[in-house]
Structure 1
């Protein structure tokens, strides 16, 4: 859990990371001009975890 959070926090554009271990989810806020959801999912995969799906929500304005 700490491993995932730490790795994602180091990525460009990532502003907030919340790992929900019991739900097997990661929620994060990031600047999409600095990074992509797919690239961030790859970071998690490289740590040895499976990424089943990626959902992107646009912030409410």
Structure 2
């Protein structure tokens, strides 16, 4: 009898915990971010290539 009451209490407690589980809903509206990164990359690569050619003139 005690096992049955304990099982019922445990089951009821489990149901109460599931019913009281908090939920969080987050709506994120992201605005698109545009950046012109290719210009910096091209300039940096051009400078790097010039430096490598100066260091190794027989490279090409």
TM norm structure 2: 0.22
- Specify the structure having the higher radius of gyration (Cα): 2
Which structure: greater helix fraction?
Answer: 2
TM norm structure 1: 0.21
